[in-house]
Amino acid sequence: MKLLLDSSTVVWFLEGAPQLSETAAGLIESLESHSMVSSVTPWELAVKVGLGKLRLPYSLGEDFDATLESLGFELLPLSRAALERTARLPDYHRDPFDRLLIAEALEHSATLVSRNEIFDAYGVKRVW
């Protein structure tokens, strides 16, 4: 199963946080799953850190990418197809990072791992 992890899911997985559902953790850890992280996720996290909405015990540079790779996660480059698809999405949700995740999930036929129920309005597969 191809999984696309949202930013909260990535943070909670890396921290072993109790906010991560058992279902999500199990799927991410499954040998039958392929976990992907959008290249915009570190950007979103950096914005939240800069605004004081999030504190992380690690940097979001090369160490973050190396950590993701060491866990077997694929860091997805932002594609032109996902950008174009983002512009065509209905206006149910205005968050630009979430809209990109929706478009990337649709482009890669991936299941979004997120507690954010607004994704369901876009017809993407979502688990939590």
The arithmetic mean of pLDDT across residues 95-113, rounded, is 97
pLDDT for 15 equals 93
Residue 44 belongs to what domain range? 2-127
pLDDT of residue 61: 85
Q: What is the pTM of this model?
A: 0.94
pLDDT at 59 over 90: no
Domain tally for the chain?
1
Lowest mean pLDDT among 29-33, 59-63, 85-89, 109-113: 59-63
Structure confidence at residue 63 (pLDDT): 87
The share of the chain scoring above pLDDT 90, in percent, equals 93
* Average confidence (pLDDT) over 89-107: 96
What is the spatial distance between Cα 103 and Cα 80, in angstroms, rounded to a whole number? 11
- The CATH number for 106's domain is 3.40.50.1010
The Cα–Cα gap between 96 and 48 comes to 13
